[in-house]
């Protein structure tokens, strides 16, 4: 795995969450970093532009809420609610970019 690829992806993610945020392979873009709605669309568009990765057929709503619902999920989390959205991790994003196309993460 090319460390410069990982570093460039990390910089893209940090544009949305700040450079102080700790991001590892297991870090979930929505559940942990609270990236949702238009921000996810913009992030994936930047990944496409920078790396040529295609996200054709991506079921955005299975992994990420829209902007308004994202806020509601985060407020609800303060009261113990856990989102049922699928997890999309930074490590999976790295693998998607390496493959050049979107694919479903392994379950488990």
| Domain ranges within the chain, ordered by starting residue | 3-13+27-99
Q: For the chain, what is the radius of gyration of the CA atoms? A: 13
Distances (CA, A) of 102 to 14, 56, 105: 21, 7, 9
Q: Rounded to two decimals, what is the model's pTM? A: 0.86
In this prediction, residues 30-51 reach a mean pLDDT of 94
Query: pLDDT tens, 34-44?
Result: 899 899 999 99
What are the structure tokens assigned to 9, written together?
């992806």
């Amino acid at each position: 795995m090319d460390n410069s690829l990982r570093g460039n992806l990390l910089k893209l993610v940090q544009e949305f969450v700040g450079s102080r945020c700790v991001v590892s392979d297991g870090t979930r873009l929505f559940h942990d970093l609270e990236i949702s709605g238009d921000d996810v669309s913009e992030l994936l568009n930047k990944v496409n532009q920078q790396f040529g990765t295609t996200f054709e057929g991506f079921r955005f709503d299975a992994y990420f809420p829209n902007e308004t619902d994202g806020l509601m999920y985060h407020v609800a989390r303060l009261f113990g609610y856990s989102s049922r959205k699928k997890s999309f991790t930074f490590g999976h994003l790295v693998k998607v970019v390496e493959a050049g196309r979107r694919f479903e993460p392994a379950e488990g």
